[in-house]
Structure 1
Amino acid sequence: MNDADKQALVERYIAAYNAFDIDGMVALLSDDVRFENHAGGVLTTTTDGRDAFRALAEQSRRLFSVREQRVTSWRFDPERTIVEIDYRGTLAQDVPGGPAAGTELALKGRSEFGFAGARINHLADFS
């Protein structure tokens, strides 16, 4: 898979993410996909496999009424594609002990994508 193909796949994934299209996201993943979320230097969430990823994505979808990832830069190496992300989202419900529904969050982070064949087999988000 060349860099242009990797970029096109990541762009399709992010478009599906922004549209809350869980089926569209999952269709781009390998059966054994690994997902990791890192916040503040701590690994906070992991899933292994498409079914576990789908369950987490469904749960996350309910948290936001609006969400958008926007890529600000791309970096390609043989093992992965790294994108710097500007993220914004509006909470759809109160977070216990945290912000209330309607609060807009804005974060900067990065996502690292690994590939197997023509699918994403590893996704790690860092914020």
Structure 2
Amino acid sequence: MDEAARLGLVERYIAAYNRFDVDGMLALLAPGIRFENHAGGQLTAQADGIDGFRQLAEHAAALFREREQRVIARRSEAGRVVVEIAYRGVLAADIADGPKAGSVLEMTGRSEFAFADGKIGLIVDRS
């Protein structure tokens, strides 16, 4: 898979994420997808396989009324794609011991994508 194809997959994945299109996201993933979210240097969420990813993605989508990942930089590294992200979301529900519905969350982070069999095989989000 060449660099243009890898970048295209990542762009389609982010567009589906921004549309809350979980099925569109899943269509781009390899069956053995591994997902990790790290916040403040700690692993905060993970999923293995399409079913695990679907559960996590549907739960996350339900938490937000609006959300957008905007790519501010991207590069290829050893067959991977790394994107720097500006994230903005508006909560649809209260988070226990945290922000309330309607709160705006803004942060920057990095997402790393690796590929398997012409699809996305690994996503690691760091903020």
TM-score bucket of the superposed structures, by smaller chain = over 0.9
Aligned to 1:45: 45
Aligned to 1:2: 2
Structure 1 segment 1-40 matched on structure 2, within 5 A: 1-40=1-40
Distance between the aligned counterparts of 1:101 and 1:93, measured in 2? 4
| CA apart distance, 1:78 | 2.0
Aligned to 2:76: 76
Listed one character per residue, the Cα deviations across residues 15-68 of structure 1 (whole Å, up to 9, x for unaligned) are: 000000000000000000000000000111111101100010011111000000
Please provide the CA RMSD for this pair.
Answer: 0.7
Structure 2: tracts of 5 or more residues without a match = none
> Secondary structure of 2:102's match?
coil
Listed one character per residue, the Cα deviations across residues 52-105 of structure 1 (whole Å, up to 9, x for unaligned) are: 000100111110000000000011022311000000000001111111100000
| CA apart distance, 1:117 | 2.2
Structure 1: tracts of 5 or more residues without a match = none
* Aligned length, in residue pairs: 127
| 8 Å Cα contact 2:67-2:88 kept in structure 1 | yes
Distance between the aligned counterparts of 1:70 and 1:61, measured in 2? 17
Runs of 4+ in 1 over 3 A off after TM superposition: none
